[in-house]
Amino acid sequence: MGILVNLLNRIRPKSSPTPPPVNLGSLPPQKSDPKSQLIQLETQLKQEALLVQKQSQLKSNQPKLKPKWMGKLISLSLLVGIPSAVLYIINLPYPAIRQPVSRTVPFLLLPSQINIENNFKRSLELIEQAEQLIERPTSASDIEQGAQKLKEGKDSLDAIPLNSVDEWIDYGGYGWRFSRYRFQQIREQVGRLEAKVFQEKNAQSLLVMGEQELITAKTAYQQAASPTDKQAAARLWRSTLDKMEEIPDRTWAGKSAQQKLNSYEREFNEVVGLAANTEKVNTLISSAQQFSRQATLIGQNPPHTVDKWQEIEKLWQIAIDDLNQISPQDLNGYAEARKLIAEYTAIKGQITVQRKAEQNAAVALESAQNRIETLLASTPNDIKSFDRNRTISQLQAIINDLDKVEKETTSYPKAQKLRLFAKNKFDQLEANSQ
């Protein structure tokens, strides 16, 4: 039993008063029945638990005292919060609030001016980094990184209200970096860099597209099964190289394209080689033959006017110019081209002769017509005033002009009619003078 009492004393709550010890010696002597001892112990434990429960209820029902420091804290919060709220409102970017304060107590705007200064410093730092990456890139990633920094710098610059810029007083000697002039200057720099980024991205897109088309053309050429397919792939390959040459060289992509084009051209010549040159020669010869056929078709059924002979002559000249583009290095094509050039040059020479004959015939016919008009105008109605010798001389000059008109010209039929008329008059006057 002594052991059970000690155990109960250990588990009893410390806050509750210690119950008086049970004097087991004063209890009436009982039989040492274990069951009765357990019942007695259980009863004693219940009494002690009820006592502890009552003490806990009494402690919870006591009123809690409000600490004094809570009131002080509320007062301090109001004392600090109200001026802070007023200062926050004053520094809002609203002209109706800021302008009166700026005229009377400008130092109250110091928080917003510090914020402007911090945003401006951040934008200066970011834009300077962006300019280094955009103006002097070493790779496409530099341009992307520069564009990102430029955007961040512009965001910091846009965080500065414009109406605050207008009311800013340029301070000196206190380390302030912001000023209205520098603000406008940085905004112009941002616009210039944005345009540069736009050009760089466009050029980069052209470069990427050109390289993809180049791979496609090379693959098509390698997989082509027929000569026609190879020629089409070679033309696509050549066209892609020409497009890459058009990328502006003032951009990073353009400079990169110019550096790569040397190797691309060398590869094209090695892979395509003679086939591409042969295709070019065949194209030039075919073009020259088409112009020659057109010139021959138009030149059928002469004579023609001067304008038409000029058109025919021009077509022969175009055919000759196409053939002159074939280089002596293209051995097979060059020999064929020289043969056609000799043939076309001879034909063109004949066309030139015919054109000049047509021009001379037109001039001679016009001269004869002018002489006839002069003769008619100078012939008097009175036979007594008629100068026979002078008229015979004028008729002879008319006949001489008409004799200059060649047969294969458009002026020849009309010239022959006029010559016949002039010759008859001339013969009449000669007969009457004898």
Q: pLDDT for 245-278, tens place per residue? A: 888 888 888 888 888 888 888 888 777 766 667 7
Q: pLDDT for 51-107, tens place per residue? A: 767 766 665 555 554 555 665 566 555 555 555 554 555 555 545 455 555 555 554
**Count, residues in the chain:** 434
- What type of residue sits at position 64? K
Q: pLDDT for 331-360, tens place per residue? A: 778 888 999 999 999 999 999 999 999 999
pLDDT value, residue 76:
56
What global pTM score does this model have? Answer: 0.41
Q: pLDDT for 5-24, tens place per residue? A: 443 454 444 444 444 444 44
Minimum mean pLDDT among 127-141, 154-168, 213-227, 319-333: which range? 154-168
At 268, list the tokens: 């094209």
At 206, list the tokens: 């052209």
Is residue 157 over pLDDT 90? no
What span, in angstroms and rounded, lies between the C-alpha atoms of 325 and 337?
9
**Terminal alpha carbon distance of the chain:** 194
What span, in angstroms and rounded, lies between the C-alpha atoms of 284 and 338?
12
> Is the bond into 303 cis (omega within 30 degrees of 0)?
yes
User: Which residues, in sequence order, are CB contacts of 243 under 8 Å at separation 6+?
Assistant: 206, 210, 213
Helix (H, G, I), strand (E, B) or coil at 67: coil
DSSP-assigned letter for residue 141: H
Binning pLDDT at 50, 70 and 90, where does residue 380 land? confident
Nearest Cα residue to 204 out of 193, 196, 216, 214 = 196
What span, in angstroms and rounded, lies between the C-alpha atoms of 79 and 254?
65
* Domains of the chain, residue spans: 90-178, 204-279, 283-434
Q: Exposed/middle/buried for 361, CB within 10 Å: 0-12, 13-18, 19+?
A: buried
pLDDT value, residue 315:
96
Residue-wise DSSP of 94-119: -HHHHHHHHHH-GGGGHHHHHHHHHH
Binning pLDDT at 50, 70 and 90, where does residue 40 land? confident
pLDDT value, residue 95:
55
Check if the beta carbon of residue 16 is closer than 8 Å to that of residue 58: no
Computed over every residue of the chain, the mean pLDDT equals: 77
